[in-house]
């Protein structure tokens, strides 16, 4: 069956290649692209290597490729395709692939395809250069020792259009991901300053946004934390966040990049606390200007604060000042005026309280804990609910997405005795978190159950509550719900009578 399929596929390729090769007149770029979209170069080369027994195949494909490569589009594919094939099939016994690339001056052709080719060609060139950088000796080609080399990425970027510069930066991000050693070369070559230069020149919103998206991608790379923390990136992003004259989308992306970078525990090993405070102050400044901040920017600010509040150091920093930026989070978490804003704030407050931290890292230092408690009670006093219990119940009575954020928040806060006392002061919240039918989605059931487990664990650890006879019913509900599990388990499995009509003959 596979042989029949391969023969049919080869037959289609042979027919299409013959039509292309014998087409009267010159073939244009569109025709070449349409042909290669149907039969990519790797498939054609493979057919040449394996189809020697097919009459006329070799000559037809050679004639077809000759006409393909006579077009500008076809010619643009040669450098990166040949480099990729060369590197992928290179071994220690063959002539060094890197030496061939050097001897035939192929690397400049790849760079030209990167900055001047269409999107597909540029992407393929980028992949080929990344593969080259992974080879021993290839790194020296991609990162020449002399700053005066024409192929130095800094010099290439200086001669490019704005689109070309963005592509060079995209290449740097791709190279940065290869390994920590390559990332160190990029840092020592001062190539990261190209990002800083583009961000500082914020006259072109689209270019700046493209560069910010690349940075957003870069901070996710595993070994990026230490290197990026050594740059002036945080200060530069803070200046964008504080600049009210810029487009709000730029400020939002800058906030998200800061949040993503500062969401990692090890960031605080390499980042000066004053730099983090500058970021927090910039976000605080935007949230304080509520009349000039649109909903999307406000949600981004709250989400960024939630990211910063994930690690212990970040949460304690946000809760440390006399007028903490966390107040914005606490107030917005229980404000039903903006659904997206409330949802972002609830998740952020859950992060601050430690829902995503390990069990032994949930509780913060004394001053941070006191601030957290004060903010919850202050938010309650400002609302018609008056108590934290009323706030939590109100959240759990809203639509599913908000309810799930409420479960996360309670899961974290219930580790505090004051919150546990609030939760157990009445039965309504316990009735919700122990009800297996209230959530219909799998994730909803699991998050509700995790909240139920957290309340049960905190309850059983409290000698005072366990010995209170007035709470026996709550204790029983929690224990029964934990035993049943997260899904719609039946309390009892009983035989049901089967009623059927009598058979008639």
CA-atom Rg of the chain in angstroms: 31
Cβ–Cβ < 8 Å for 122, 114: yes
Task: Judge residue 364's burial from the number of C-beta atoms within 10 Å of its C-beta, 0-12 exposed, 13-18 middle, 19 or more buried.
Answer: buried
Cite the DSSP H helix spans in 219-338: 224-228, 233-242, 248-261, 267-270, 273-288, 295-308, 312-318, 326-333
d(CA 84, CA 128): 5
Q: Which residues lie below 8 Å from residue 360, measured CB to CB, with a gap of 6+?
A: none
d(CA 491, CA 428): 20
Task: Judge residue 314's burial from the number of C-beta atoms within 10 Å of its C-beta, 0-12 exposed, 13-18 middle, 19 or more buried.
Answer: buried
Per residue in 270-287, pLDDT tens? 888 888 999 999 999 988
The reported pLDDT for the residue numbered 175 is: 94
Task: Judge residue 221's burial from the number of C-beta atoms within 10 Å of its C-beta, 0-12 exposed, 13-18 middle, 19 or more buried.
Answer: middle
The reported pLDDT for the residue numbered 456 is: 94
- What global pTM score does this model have? 0.79
Backbone phi and psi for residue 260, each to the nearest 5 degrees, phi listed first: -65, -40
d(CA 185, CA 287): 39
**Closest by Cα among 46, 166, 250 to 156:** 166
The reported pLDDT for the residue numbered 274 is: 87
Ranges of the chain whose pLDDT falls below 50: 1-8, 92-95, 491-493, 505
Handedness of CA 468, 469, 473, 476 (dihedral sign): positive
The reported pLDDT for the residue numbered 9 is: 75
* Buried b / exposed e along 427-442 (16+ C-beta atoms within 10 A): eebbebbbebeebeee
């Amino acid at each position: 069956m596979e042989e029949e399929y391969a023969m049919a596929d080869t037959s289609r390729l042979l027919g299409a290649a013959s039509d292309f090769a014998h087409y009267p007149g010159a073939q244009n770029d569109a025709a070449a692209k349409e042909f290669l979209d149907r039969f990519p170069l790797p498939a054609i080369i493979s057919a040449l290597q394996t189809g020697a027994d097919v009459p006329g195949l070799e000559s037809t494909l050679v004639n077809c490729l000759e006409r393909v490569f006579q077009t500008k589009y076809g010619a643009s594919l040669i450098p990166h395709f040949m480099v990729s094939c060369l590197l992928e099939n290179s071994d220690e016994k063959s002539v060094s692939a890197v030496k061939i690339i050097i001897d035939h001056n192929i690397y400049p052709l790849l760079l030209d395809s990167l900055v001047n080719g269409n999107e597909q060609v540029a992407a393929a060139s980028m992949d080929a250069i990344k593969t080259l950088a992974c080879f021993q000796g290839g790194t020296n080609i991609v990162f020449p020792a002399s700053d005066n080399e024409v192929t130095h990425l800094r010099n290439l970027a200086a001669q490019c259009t704005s689109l070309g510069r963005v592509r060079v930066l995209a290449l740097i991000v791709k190279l940065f991901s290869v390994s920590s050693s390559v990332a160190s070369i990029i840092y020592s070559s001062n190539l990261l300053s190209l990002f800083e230069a583009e961000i500082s020149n914020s006259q072109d919103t689209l270019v700046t946004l493209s560069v910010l998206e690349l940075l957003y991608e870069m901070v996710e790379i595993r070994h990026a934390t230490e290197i990026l923390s050594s740059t002036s990136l945080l200060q530069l992003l803070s200046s964008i966040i504080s600049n009210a004259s810029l487009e709000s989308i730029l400020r939002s992306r800058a906030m998200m990049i800061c949040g993503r970078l500062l969401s990692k525990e090890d960031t605080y090993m390499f980042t000066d606390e004053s730099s983090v405070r500058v970021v927090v102050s910039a976000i605080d400044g935007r949230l304080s200007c509520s009349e000039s901040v649109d909903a999307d920017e406000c949600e981004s600010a709250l989400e960024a604060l939630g990211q910063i509040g994930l690690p212990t150091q970040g949460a304690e920093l946000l809760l440390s000042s006399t007028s903490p930026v966390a107040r914005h989070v606490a107030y917005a978490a229980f404000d039903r005026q903006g659904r997206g804003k409330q949802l972002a704030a609830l998740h952020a407050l859950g992060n601050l309280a430690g829902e995503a931290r390990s069990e032994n890292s949930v509780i913060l230092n004394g001053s941070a804990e006191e601030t957290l408690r004060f903010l919850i009670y202050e938010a309650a006093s400002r609302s018609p609910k008056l108590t934290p219990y009323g706030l939590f119940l109100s959240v759990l009575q809203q639509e599913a997405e908000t309810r799930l954020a409420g479960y996360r928040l309670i899961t974290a806060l219930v580790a505090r005795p004051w919150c546990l006392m609030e939760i157990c002061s009445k039965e309504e919240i316990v009735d919700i978190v122990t009800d297996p039918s209230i959530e219909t989605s799998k994730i909803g059931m699991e998050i509700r159950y995790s909240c139920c487990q957290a309340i049960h664990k905190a309850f059983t650890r409290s000698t005072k509550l366990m010995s209170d006879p007035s709470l026996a019913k709550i204790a029983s509900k929690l224990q029964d719900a934990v035993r049943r599990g997260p899904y719609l388990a039946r309390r009892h499995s009983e035989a049901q009578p089967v009623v059927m009509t009598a058979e008639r003959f």
